[in-house]
Every structure is written in C-alpha cells, then in structure tokens.
Amino acid sequence: MIKSLLVPVDSSAYSRSALEHALELGKLYQARVTGLYVLDVRYLEMPPYLDYSYAFEAVAPTLVPLDVLEKFRAKSERILNEFKESVEKAGLQCETRTEEGVPSQAIADIGDAYDLIIMGKRGEHARWGKELLGTTTEQVVRRAGTPVMLVEEQSRPVAKMFLMYDGSHSANHALKLAADLAQRTFASLNVLTVDDDAEAGAAVQNEAKSYLEAQGLKAGFVSEPGRAAKAALKVLEKEPADLLVAGMQGHSALHQLILGSTAEHLMRSVSLPVLLVP
C-alpha cells in the first residue's frame, strides 16, 4: 500500500515528469505527496569546479556570498510553491520541505520514511552532462531502502508493465508492488524470467503465477536465456511497455556501495520509467 510519495524537485523537465507520475499514483492511492528541494552544500560551501562525487579527503570550504545563497533559497521556494499548487489542484495532500546537504544522501535518508521515491533519471544540469544517468539518481538508488521510481523526461500513463522476476527476496517484493499497481491502474502485466535453464526458469515463473492468481490477476509470461539486462532490452523492443519493475540486487553489508548489475544496467539502458524495489 502506497500512502506517501517523496518527489525530489528541481527546475528540470525530468522533475516535472516525476510530479506528473506522482499525481497519477497519488490519485490512485490517495497518497500524500511531498516535494523535496535539497540545497547542495557542495555548491554552497566548496569550490564549484571540483568533482566531489568520490572525494574522501576534506576540502577547505569556500563560503558562498549571502546574495547568492538567497537566490538559491528563492529558487527553491518558487519551485516548491509551484509544486504545491499542482498537487493541491489535483485534490491531494501536499507537504514541501527544503534541506541542506548532499542531494543523494538527503533524498535517500529522508526517503526511508516514505513508501515510494519518484524522481527523474537526470536533473537540471543534464544538458551539460554526457552520462546517460545522473550521478545523484544513481547514488540515491544505491543508498535507498525505499522503492525508487526513475522517470523519463516526458511522462506517460502506465498501461503496460513488465516485471523482471527471478524468485529472489527483492524480486518478490517487486512482484507484490507490481501486482498492486496492476490492480489499481488496470495496466496489463507481463513477467519476464531470464534463465539459461528452461526448467528452472519455468519453476520460478510458477511461483509468480501462483501469487498473481491468488490476487485475481492474469499476466503474460516470457522466458529468455542469457543475461537479464540484455534479455529485457530484447523483449521490450518487441513488446514496448510503460513501466519496468525489478528488484534491486547485491544489497549485502556493502548496501551503500554495491548495486546489483542487472538493476544498474536496467536503469542506465532502458528508455522508459523503471521502478526498483529493495
């Protein structure tokens, strides 16, 4: 059950798309929607020309002028006011908050108190970057203990979903969330299992089929050999979907540093919204 949504916001088209997805899900679940703007302390207190993504040594702070800081705060207030206006216009409960910190850390930590984080695959500086996925987005997924929905620049209604299912712990969490979404959105659901052993793959799919039948849901089932991410791309090319749901893999004691290779490849390579479930 989804009753609270966290939407990190900035001035990008990806952020507006995340809001539109949040409004769609908020109406379906009658969920409270919270907009979060994080004032990046790396820009406020440190030289802006350095890359702090993987910095471990302390860097001497460079205090930002007060007038620049006020411009940052005014920007956050404007964005959050527009966000709140859109949410309340949709008839949903809304909260807004501004925090100072490293965005990925703040979003993941605050997101632990919510049922779902919805955010763009990239942010407002995407036009200057060459990577396919924003650094903040990637780090949020690595840290998050809450499901994260990564959206494209343009939103679209969810009419068809694909679930990646391998029988793992996180895949079963993803299965339950996908089933709930399918029941509420009336979207069609297909389950994709990737296994070189056809018999083993069929056994895994039977687990998903049994659960979905108990929920009164009919789903399509697809089995492919090979590597999971490549198989997903192959299947989606033949049967386009509006949302891909998958479990996060590799969350060992090094949860904050290691993300499952399948989930990482999916969020980087699939050009549709991806819902990753821990």
74-91 mean pLDDT: 96
pLDDT digits (tens, 9 = 90+) for 98-127: 998 899 999 999 999 999 999 999 876 554
Q: Which residue has 């809304």 as its token pair? A: 94
Q: In the predicted model, is pLDDT for residue 254 greater than 50?
A: no
* CB of 29 closer than 8 Å to CB of 56: no
The architecture that CATH gives domain 160-277 is 3-Layer(aba) Sandwich (3.40)
The pLDDT of residue 266 is 76
Question: pLDDT-derived band of residue 252, with 50, 70 and 90 as boundaries?
Answer: very low
Indicate the domain borders of the chain.
Answer: 4-151, 160-277
Chain mean position to CA 193: 21
CA distance 267 to 265: 6
CA distance 28 to 101: 32
Q: pTM here?
A: 0.86
Do 160-277 and 4-151 fall under one CATH topology? yes
The pLDDT of residue 129 is 47
Question: pLDDT-derived band of residue 63, with 50, 70 and 90 as boundaries?
Answer: low
The architecture that CATH gives domain 4-151 is 3-Layer(aba) Sandwich (3.40)
244-256 mean pLDDT: 60
- State the average pLDDT for the chain: 85
Q: How far is CA 161 from CA 1, 16, 242, 278, in A?
A: 18, 22, 6, 18
* CB of 61 closer than 8 Å to CB of 130: no
CA distance 212 to 218: 7
Strands 4-8 and 32-40: parallel
The pLDDT of residue 269 is 77
Task: Enumerate residues 6+ apart whose C-beta is below 8 A from 22.
Answer: 5, 7, 33, 87, 118
Task: Enumerate residues 6+ apart whose C-beta is below 8 A from 78.
Answer: none
Residue predicted with more confidence, 137 or 115:
115
Q: In the predicted model, is pLDDT for residue 77 greater than 90?
A: yes
